[in-house]
Amino acid sequence: MNQSGSSSSNRVNVPEARGALDNMKFEIARELGINFKQGYNGDLTSRENGYVGGYMVKRLIEQAEKQMAGK
């Protein structure tokens, strides 16, 4: 559980970033050939959803590293 008592791990800490994160999610899913759609995606496997999330984290880390390096 997080500090607020909620066990949800998919909340956005910076609400203004939600749109950009959603765009990234759909872009990565397209790149991976995964049929992600708005709303419910329960028909996708855990592996497919995990790939999208994993690549999102990878890309966010790359962006942060570039920003820290001043590029």
Q: Residue 54 pLDDT > 80, yes or no?
A: yes
Residue 67 binned pLDDT confidence (cut-offs 50, 70, 90): very high
Q: Residue 26 pLDDT > 50, yes or no?
A: yes
> For residue 39, is it within any domain?
no
Burial of 55 (0-12, 13-18, 19+ CB in 10 A): middle
Mean pLDDT for the stretch of residues 26-44:
91
> For residue 50, is it within any domain?
yes
Q: Residue 44 pLDDT > 60, yes or no?
A: yes
Q: What's the mean pLDDT when you consider all of the chain?
A: 86
DSSP states of 2-63:
-TTS---S---SSGGGHHHHHHHHHHHHHHHT----SS--TTS-HHHHHHHHHHHHHHHHHH
* Structural domain containing residue 66: 46-71
> For residue 64, is it within any domain?
yes
Count structural domains, the chain.
1
